[in-house]
Structures are given as structure tokens and as C-alpha cells.
Structure 1
Amino acid sequence: RFNQRDVQRLEKVAELISAFLLQRRTALRATRAATKTGEERQRHNLHQLIYEAIQEGVNVHTPQGGIIETNPACLRILGLTRDQMLGRAFSDPRWRTFKADGSPFLADEYPVAITLRTGLPVQNVPMGIELPSGELRWITINAVPLCNPETGEVEYGVVTMKDVTAQREAELQLSAQNAELGAALAAAEKANRVKTDFMGVMSHELRTPMNAVLSCANLLSQTRLDPAQKRMLGVLDEAGRQMLALLNDLLDLSSLNADKVRIDPQPVPLVRLIEDAAVIWSSDVRAKGLTLSVRIDPGLRAPRMVDSSRLLQIIGNLLANAIKFTSEGGVTIQAWPEKAKGGADRIAIEVEDTGPGVPAEAVERIFSAFEQVDVSSRRRHGGLGLGLHVARRLANAMGGDITLETMPGEGSRFTVRIDAPIAQDLPAGDASPNDSAQTEAEARDVLCVDDNPRNLFVISAMLRAAGHSTTECSSGAEALEVLGRRKFDVIMLDMVMPDMDGLETLSRLRT
């Protein structure tokens, strides 16, 4: 048991411990306060260091717009001293600022003015500012509000800015370069169109008299000629046909480049078309002592929807190429039906020769315009190097392509594949709608209308040679006058004539 003295002694110890604990608690609080003050000071110093070190300019504005704080980056960007900056408001007339379109900023259009007025941030506003040195500097500006946490009122507006002068100058330079490139491209395209139009006009103007030459040669061949005359006429005809082929290639190229080629699919009996192509080129094959074989799959007996004239042109170009470069052996034409990946009906037509083949490095080049395997080839065989290019472009226009398999020294195999749906409305073996049974022609009275006297002469001569009678007119007006006096069985009108073309003449005739 504790006596009175023990109790007093314990109370004394308790007082000492309590005083010690109170002193310790006070010391701990003081230590904590000192630590907190040090941390806050350290944090403040860190913020100040960041504020002064960042590359973006920073300004702090009062609600009235005056600047109360700025950082070194802002002074560097704007070319001002701290004393010149502090206290200056955004409405100060000394600011000379411009929008991206060159118009000046009004006082209430400044980003910080909008932020102070609305309490909303404003971002990425381009601004041009004239420095005291007279230099124009471009910046992008952001403005954010600092609000009182209790009242929500805007107490300050903080502006950050970034120097984008170099970027803007680069963009302007790039824009100018793009404009120059655009102008150069437009000029090049215009020049290309002029060249294409010129080639088309030139080819057409040359082809018209060349057709007259060949037609007259054909008419002349039907007259009595001695052997020497026949030989000269043969040379004239062969040279004329070569010239016409070159002109046709040039005209086709100009039409393809001008996107003027139109594909007109019609029901076509492919067997007959391929056989016709073989017949057309058979004389050239025989002249070189070659053989010509034709193999057509029975699956192509049904008429197909294709542009017959364009397909015949493609086959002709491939045959011409094969015959030109084959000196011995022969040429083979094969054709068969195919299915595309999507199930569409296609046809494949292959022209194979036993010529020298094509070197691997020239396989793609020979499909380019004005390209041949080498210069010596052009000297030996002639031509412009357009046949394969035109053929592939036409195949592309018909939804297909031309591929080449070749083995140098053994020959080449060109294969054209195009879309060719089966003509459902015509049974297999039927002729195309434009075909009719050939019967002996009756003599007809024909009115020929053409402003070109050569064409008029040739057409009339060919018709008269076939047993028909002709009347010639050199204009649409003259034709209408003649038609007012008498009737004709057939009227042949030139589509393109001065003053009144063929369509207008026909329209007036009908009315």
C-alpha cells in the first residue's frame, strides 16, 4: 500500500513527466512548423526557378489588364525590359499587334481580355507584334483565368506565349514554293494538253490525205497495170499503210492522254473477230515466210459484250509486234474464257511468237510510249514504239491488262485479259445485231457531202466502182438545196464541216 509520502512523490513525478511531454510536444510542433516553412520556401524557389527558366513567355494580368509579373522569356520574345513591361495593360496604345490576316487587334479582342471578361481559357491565338526595333515577331498566345476559390471571381489572367516567327516564315516559304510548284504544274499540264491537242490535230490532218492516197491506190489496183506499175503501186500501198499505222498510233496516244477514248461494249462474236484479225495480218505473215495458227476455245462461241473495234486494235497491235520481230517460225493466236476473282466473265487472248524474246531489263520498258528494246531495233524494224503502249492503255480502259512472258532467244507470249460478259440476249453462234446476211448489193443513188474535195472524189470513185451513182456536194447548204429538188436512196454526210456540220444538216433535212 502507498502511504501519503509515496503518493506525494508520485504526483511530483507525474508533474515532471507532464511538463516534459508538453515541452516535447511544443518542440515537435515548432520543428514541424519550421520544416513546413522550409518546404514551402523550397517549393516556392523551385516554382520561381521554373518560371524563370521556361522558354515560353509568361505574364500575369490584374482584372484591369495591367501586368504585375513577367518572366525573362517574355521579355526576350517582346524585346522589352522588366520596367517597360510591368504596369503596361493590354489596352496600351504602344502595343502594335496584328491578326493572322494582317488586320490589327482591338483591345477587347486580346486573349487575356476575353479570359478576364468571361472567365474562360483562350488557346492558340496567332498574333503578330511589332517590336521596339521595328521587327515583326509572330507568337501564339494562351490565356487562362486564376479564380478566387471561395467567390469564383477572376482575380488574375495568366498569359503564356511562344515565339513561332521561324515556323511561320517556314510555312510562308513553303506556301510560296507550293504556289510556284502549282503554277509550274499547271503550266506543264497546259503545255501537255497543247501538245496532245496538236498531236491529235496533226495526226488527223495527216491521216485524212493518207486515207485518200490509199483509197486511190486501191482503186488504181483495179485497173489494167503492167508489172512495173503493179510493183510501184505495191510499194506505194505498203508505205502508205505503214504511215497510216504510225498516224493511227499517234492519234490513239493523244486521245488516251486527253482521256477522250470511249469504250462502247456491244454483243460481239469473238470467234469471228479473232479470225478476222488473223485474216487481216495473214498477208504480212506470208510475206515473211512465217506460219500463223489460230486456236479458239469452244467456250468463246457465245457472243461477248466488248468494244469490237478496240479489241481488234489490241489484237492487231500484238500481231504487228509479233510479225515485225519474228524472222523464222511463226505466230500463234490462242483465246479462252476465264473467271475473275469476283466471278466476272473475262476473256484471255494470247499472241505467241518465235522471235528473239525480250531481255529481262526491258520487259516493263517496252510498254512505255516511244520505247523499243534498243536503238538498233528501231533502225532495223522501224516504228515509233507506240503499239504495245497503246494496246496496254486500251486494255486498261476495258478493265484489263496485258502481260508478257518471254525467254530470250526463244520468243515472247503477250496475253491480254479484259472483262467480257456473255451477251445474254444472243444465243451462241448468232451474229452481232449490226451484222446482216451479205446479199448482192443493188445499185443505189447516193448523195455524198464533204467539204474536203479529195475525200469527196475518193468516196464517189469507190461507190461508182461498186456500181452506184453519185451526186457530190461540198457543204450542208448545197446538200439541202439539192435535196429540195430530188430524192436519194442514201445520203453520206461528213460530220465535221464549216458553217453547217453533218448533224445540223441532217436535223434541217428532217424538219
Structure 2
Amino acid sequence: MNWKSIVSRYEAFLRIPQDGSPDVVMRMRAIWVIGMMLVGIQIVNQMIMYVTYDGFTTDHIIGGIAILALLASVHLIRWYKQKYFYAVFFNILLLGAICGTALPQGTGINTALIVFIALGPVMNGFIAGRQAAIAFTVIGFAFVTFLYWVSLNHAPLSVDRGFALEATRYTQSLFALAMSAAMSIMLSEHVYGALAETRTSMLRARRAEAAKSDFLATMSHELRTPLNGVIGLTDALMNANLGPHERELTRTIRRSGESLLLILNDLLDLSKIEAGKFGIEPRAFDITELMEFTADTWRESARAKGLSMDIAITGDVPPAILADDLRIRQILQNLLSNAIKFTATGRVDLILNIATVDGDERVLEFRVSDTGKGIPEHLRDAVFEAFEQGEQGTTRSFGGTGLGLQICRMLATLMGGSIVIEDTSPKGTTFLLTLPAQAADLAPPARASITDATETSIEGLRVLIAEDNEVNRLVIRELIKGWGVESVFVEDGLACLDAVRHQTFDVILMDKHMPGMNGADVARAIRRLKTPMADVPIIAVTADAMAGEREAMLAAGMDDFLAKPVRADALREVIMRTVSRRSVAA
């Protein structure tokens, strides 16, 4: 245990809040430190007097009482934190000690303890601030003058030492006191002023962070609601009998909606990472499947620009890799998107090398290479900063927010890895993503078994949809109309609760924000029912996608969570998964 941990534990005992106001923490710390230093001085003084007087004297009793009083005052901080009380208490002890040596024998200004008078302004400045330091200085001048008067009125001392010596001690004492006061006032004013400014800046930053989070939460909800209509309805149209031209128009609308959703997700991801609310969730997955899926996602975009795209995997490929496949895919998707965006002719390649470190430990080296125009040398680091896209005009020419690479670097760091520009020239660029991972055995995916078990059982389900937005109701109605389910729609929370009380449903799709009663409150009320419907599966379908929303909905009694915009495959999957899970549990 080092001294820092000892100090922290002692201050915790004294109930000095480490996360409280910095100036309060510093004042309380000054009180106990000064008190303990005075205790130490008294203990040393006790030992010196014992040797000097060859035994215990009355002074030892007085010193012992002073030590006990100091210890009591220090530990009083645990219950009482009035700074002026401690300043006055220490001043009385200091001036009392000087008087105890200066008055009985008429020593006056010649007392050996006179030098301690200079500590008064510093002590008061740190404990109680500038005003206390000034007050002690005024009292100190009067006190030193009084001691000088005592010296002058005791003839033996005056004769022995002479008037000049008395005057010299007097002026030196005043000078030391003045210097101490000036330094204390300036120092305490500067320190506590800086602490006050720091606290103000910290509070302002916290308010700004809270305002930013509120703004992002509001914008996320308000943008996801219309996006749900755009993406959801184009999803439904793609399954309809459209002509080639109409299908291409629908696909273009869908891509535009997806692009807007990607920008929104980038902003939310950046906010979550900066707030420390972005978690990494490792799981076993097939790395070959991930590579193929990621490349296939962008193969059509590459082909549309006349670009070739290949993937390759080298090294020791285990049956499965234990890592966060979702975040790896997110980084690779971003790198491939940029590579295709900034490459006019040639090719884009995705290459993975798996290196064995020790036992099951692996290092994944992903390289995304292109034949674009490259990145200028002076911008190699800048492209990883927020809202940076390389040279001027890049945003106008190619679009984008400039957040992608910064998020990629943050995600790589969260996973214990790194991302760098390995090589760049006018002939192309190669990004290198390095991540630690572990080899694993790929267990049969539980999701697949649930799908197989419930693929046919979704038909005939009775589904209650609680949604106040007309467009969102239309989206869900269009997505599920070919599934063979019976759907009942309600427009507010109270109507949802009433329907559950009087009817039977197999699953509920619950919006969060509804008039009358919000989704979380409805879920809690359903779980309190004394009927079999208290156990009905409830899925939150909401436009709120900020950090903590999923956990809040699950804590309210819901079984699963689906963020808008809603896609047909995701909606079908979450319904099957939730109903199957409830069936197994029953």
C-alpha cells in the first residue's frame, strides 16, 4: 500500500468527497495536513524538552493537551467542515504558543517561536482564503507590536541585548509577516480562483455534454421516425410486383434512406464512444463467412464503378474466431466504402492474415487496398480526426461526414487493436487494421435453431401493435401482411393495456413514446396482471437508439428490442426469436 492509497483511505474516513468541489477538497486537506504537522512538531518538541530538562515537566502536560486538541480538531472534519472554525482554532493555538514562551519571563519579541508568526497568513490563506489571510496579518502586526512593547518594558532584557537588537527583531518580524501575507494572498487568490474557473468550466462542459446528448437523442428519434417510413415502405415495395424501372427507382430511394441512416448512426456511435457507453461484445464466429459477407455487401457498388474486388485469407485459419464480429464488420464496411468511393478505376481488395501468437491467441491483420489517388503525406494522421476528409473539396466531391475513420480508430482501440495507413501513393492506399483475437470452436448457432423451429409457427400468430404514428403503423402493416399473422393495432398505451386485459395475443410490438401511457409503463402494468397475459412476449419497437435505451426497455419487462427503421427480415427474426424463447421457458 503506497502513501497515496493511505491518504485516500484517510480522507474517505474524514468524509472528504474526492468528486466534490475542488476548492472544498483542498481546504479540508489543508486543515488535516496542517493539523498533523503541528502534532508532529509538538511530539518532537516533547522529546527535546524531555532531554533538555532531564524528565517530564509542566510544559509536557500543556504540550500533551495541545496534541490531543489538534488530533480532535482534525478528526472533527468527519462531522464538521466549517473552514473558519478551523482557521480560528489554529490561530488561537499558534498565538497561544507564542505567548506561552514570550510573556512569562518577559522574552517578548525575542521568543524563539516568533518565526512561526509568518506561517499564519499562509495557513489561513489555504484554509479559509484571502480574507482570512488579511485578517490574520492585521492581528499579527498588532501582536508583534505588543511583543515588542513587552520586550522594551523588561529592563534586564533591554539592557542585555540593547535597543537596536529589539528594534531589529521587531522590524524583521513585521517584514516576514508582510512577505508571508503578500505571498499567501496572491497564492490563495490564484489557486482558488483557478479552481473556481475549473469548476465553472467543468460544469459548463457537463451541461454542454448533457445538451448534446439530449439533442442527439431528440434528433435520433425525430429522424428515425420518417426514415422508418422511407426504408420500411421501400422494403415492402421491393417485395411487390414492380416493373424494372419502378424497381430501380424504389432501390434508389432505399439506398438514399440507408445513406441517411448511416450518417445518423455514425453520429450516435461517436457520441456513445466519447461518453464511454460503447461496449465490446466478443463471440465466436466464422471469419471466412464474415469476410465474404462484408465483400458481397459492396461488390455491387464496386461493379457499378467498373472496379474489381477480391478477398483473400492467409495464415492459420481456426474453425472460429472469438471477437466482436459486429464491430469488425462495421470497420471493414467503412474502409471498403471509402476505398470504392475514392477509387475511379482499378480494383479494391480485402485481405486477411491470421498470425498465431501463443496457443489460442491470434492476431488478425486486415488490409483494405485500392488503386485510388492516394492520401497526401501531410494528411495521413488528419484523416482519422473528426470531420476530416483529406484535401479541400473532398466533401463536395464525394460526400460523407468525415466521422467514419475516427469511429474506426476508436472501435479498434476499444478492441485492443489499431488502424493505420500502411502505405499510400498516387497509385493507391492500403489501410491496416490489427486486432487481437482468440481461436475458438464454432458452436451451432442458437439463432438458426430458433428460426428452424419457428419458421412455420409464425403463421397464425396473433400480434398486438401499439403505435401512435400513422406512417409507422402503415409500415408494420405492409411488412407483416404476407406472413399469415392476425394483427390488431392500437394508437396509445391505455388502449394497449385495455386490449391485453380483454383479449389474448401471442406477441406485442410496443412503441416507447405514446400518448396517455408510454411503452415502458404499459409493459410494467402488463407484467403486474393476474392473468396468463402477464407473460406475453413484448418487443420494444422504438426510434430511440441512444446508449442505455435497450437496457431500459428490458428492465421495464420487455423481452427484446428493435430500433427503427424496421426491416422485414429483422422484424420477422425478432418475433420468432422472442416467441420461441418464451415457449422454451414455459
Common fold by TM > 0.5: yes
Instruction: Give the Å deviation of 1:257.
Output: 2.2
* CA distance in 2: counterparts of 1:139 and 1:214, whole angstroms: 83
Aligned to 2:568: none
Alpha-carbon distance change, 116 to 359 in structure 1, aligned in 2, over 3 angstroms: same
Matched-pair contact (CA < 8 Å) for 1:267–1:432: no
Contact residue 476 and residue 505 of structure 1 kept, 8 A: no
Higher-RCO chain (CA-CA 8 Å, sequence separation at least 6): 2
Deviation per residue, 1:260-305 (Å, 9 max, x gap): 2122222222222222212222221221111221112463443233
Corresponding residue for 2:519?
501
Q: Which structure's CA Rg is the greater one?
A: 1
How far did 1:169 drift?
Answer: 2.8
Q: For the residues of structure 2 that align with 1:378 and 1:112, how far apart are their CA atoms? A: 75
Correspondence for 2:246 among 229, 243, 246: 229
State the partner residue of 2:416. 399
Equivalent of residue 434 in structure 1, options 441, 447, 452:
447
Q: What letter matches 2:403 in structure 1?
A: L
Counterparts in 2 of 1:268 and 1:278: CA distance versus 1, 3 Å: same
CA distance in 1 between partners of 2:510 and 2:378 (Å) = 50
The CA deviation string for residues 103-125 of structure 1, in whole angstroms up to 9 with x for no partner, is 89449734422556999968573
TM-score normalised per structure 1: 0.67
**Pair 416,477 (structure 1): closer, same or farther in 2 beyond 3 Å:** farther
Does the residue aligned with 2:120 lie in a helix, a strand or coil? Answer: strand
More strand, by proportion = 1
Aligned-pair CA distance for 1:447: 3.0
Q: Please state whether the residue corresponding to 1:436 is helix, strand or coil.
A: helix
Specify the alignment match of 1:510 in structure 2. Answer: 534
- The match for 2:119 among 115, 125, 132 is 125
Measure, in 1, the Cα distance between the counterparts of 2:288 and 2:190: 59
Question: For residues 177 and 214 of structure 1, what CA distance do their matches in structure 2 show?
Answer: 52
Structure 2 Cα separation of the partners of residues 281 and 469 of structure 1: 37
RMSD: 3.9
Of Structure 1 and Structure 2, which has the larger fraction of its residues in helix? Answer: 2
Equivalence map 1:64-463=2 (5 Å)? 101=87, 105-106=91-92, 109-115=95-101, 123=116, 125-127=119-121, 128=133, 161=173, 162=176, 163-175=179-191, 176-297=193-314, 299-338=316-355, 344-423=361-440, 427-428=441-442, 430-436=443-449, 439=452, 441-442=456-457, 443-445=459-461, 446-463=463-480
Residue in structure 1 matched with residue 559 of structure 2 by the alignment: none
Q: Contact 2:464 / 2:507 at 8 angstroms: preserved in 1?
A: yes
The separation in 2 between residues aligned to 1:278 and 1:315, in whole angstroms, is 9
SS in 2 for 1:125: helix
Q: 1:485 to 1:177 in 2, by over 3 A?
A: closer
State the Cα distance separating 1:480 from its structure 2 match: 4.0
1:244, distance to aligned residue in structure 2 (A): 1.4
Q: How far 1:380 sits from its partner (Å)?
A: 0.7
Q: Out of 439-448 and 341-350, give the one that drifted further.
A: 341-350
Whole-Å Cα distance in 1 between the matches of residues 94 and 325 of structure 2? 73
TM-score (norm 2): 0.59
Find the residue that maps to 1:322 and give its secondary structure: helix
Q: Among all aligned residue pairs of Structure 1 and Structure 2, give the percentage whose two residues are the same amino acid.
A: 29
Distance, in Å, in 2 between the alignment partners of 1:114 and 1:185 is: 47
Change (3 A) 1:485 1:135: closer
CA contact (8 A) 1:269 1:431 kept: no
Q: Contact 1:107 / 1:113 at 8 angstroms: preserved in 2?
A: no
Distance 1:486 1:288 in 2: 55
- Unmatched tracts of structure 1, length 5 or more: 1-97, 144-154
**How many Å separate the matches in 1 of 2:360 and 2:243?**
60
Cα deviation for residue 385 of structure 1 reads 0.4
Structure 2 CA distance for partners of 1:230 and 1:403, relative to 1, 3 Å: same
